[in-house]
Structure formats: C-alpha cells, structure tokens
Structure 1
C-alpha cells in the first residue's frame, strides 16, 4: 500500500529546503538529514552510509512532526532510543503546537541533537 502525503505542499517544500540546508553539499556522502513522510507524520532522521559498504544507509530517528488537519497546526515529538517511543516536545510544561516555521525553529534550538548521538 502506497502512503500518500497529507500535509500542505508549502510545508513539504519548506521541510525539503530545511533538510538540505543542514548538511553542506561536500559532506552529503557521509551524512544527510532526511524526512520520511507517512500520511500526516513526518519523521526527521540522520542518515549515514552502512559500515558494510553495500551502498545502503542507516537511519537514526530524531524528531517527528505531526500535522493536525483540523487545527492546521504541527505538533513536535522527540525520539527516545532507549524506549523506542516518541515523547511530546513541551515548552515549559505545555505541549507546543504551531506552524511548520515555528516547529523547525524549535528544532534549530538543538543543533547537536540532529548530528550527534543521543544527547538527550
């Protein structure tokens, strides 16, 4: 079954540009930031070449954006590798929702979270 993208096209384009801007072109053979979309969920992951050299890439989940169609807002979640679960990203003690621009700005507050192993 093929999954269709159910997010606004403008947000999709913004997300693609954001992912490409995180790693300079000269380093993209060693690391990439990718977005994987499934319906209204967007998973951001760090991708690196397999150690085996077979041409494949390994992916480490880091953040997830979830689009709430009724509110036309995004929610932000962080991945906990030890438990394998997604946790709601909260500003203070309140779950934070907003536009794609706001969510990407929140992610940018933690630059080492994308390209460094398990800082949280």
Structure 2
C-alpha cells in the first residue's frame, strides 16, 4: 500500500522537528520515501567540518494492509524486523514507537 502525499508531508515535517535549532548544523534527521516504505536516517556533519555528511539508518516504516510496521536497523545499516512490535493503525502511532526509548532506535 503506497504512502500518501499527506503522510509523506507529515513524515518530512516530523523529521525536520526532531533536532533543536542550535544543533541543526551538526545533526539532522532524514526521511526518504519510496512506494510503501519510509527510511528514517540520522545525518551527521563531518567532525572536522571538511567533507560530506554521513548517514546512518535508524528505522524503516512500512505501510501494509494491517497498518504501519516498524523495522529497525543494525549497526551496519541492514534492516531487521521488530517482531515484538505489532503493526500500528496510524502513522502517528508508528512515530510514537520510534520515539519510545524502550525500543532504542536512536541508540
């Protein structure tokens, strides 16, 4: 099930609001949407100010017939299913799962 334009806009807005203004020169949250999948990333500025920003996958949100499924990412950026997390019916609930410190997405 494809992610709607409204949900795409909500994801982009959510990602933009995750980092306080004073830290936006050093870190950012990204969101790439493709079809029924949104990949959430944490972007970091180079430590010495020279070079490219780096990106680390944090989670993947999938829109399914049952709702939104949240998957994690390991230290190598490969996704893994979070079988202990059931699919949630709304995007807001999926974003709440990402913010819950018990699930350690932002490790």
Shared fold per TM-score greater than 0.5: yes
TM range (shorter): 0.7 to 0.9
Cα pair 1:76 1:88 within 8 Å, conserved:
yes
Give the drift of 1:60: 0.6
Deviation at 1:73, TM superposition (A): 2.2
Residues matched between the structures, number: 104
**Are 1:62 and 2:58 an aligned pair?**
yes
TM-superposed CA distance for 1:26, in Å, is 2.0
Q: Which runs of 5+ in 2 are unaligned?
A: none
Rounded Cα–Cα distance in structure 2 between residues aligned with 1:108 and 1:89 = 18
Contact 1:19 1:34 (C-alpha < 8 Å) held by counterparts: yes
1:102 to 83, 93, 102: 93
1:77 aligns with 2:71: yes
Equivalent position of 1:113 in the other structure? 105
SS across alignment from 2:32: strand
* Paired residues for 1:18-97 under 5 Å: 18-51=14-47, 53-54=50-51, 56-68=52-64, 71=65, 73-81=67-75, 84-91=78-85, 95-97=86-88
Q: Could you list the runs of 4 or more consecutive aligned residues of structure 1 that deviate by over 3 angstroms after TM superposition?
A: none
> TM-score of the superposition, structure 2-length normalised?
0.81
The two structures have a TM-score, normalised by structure 1, of 0.73
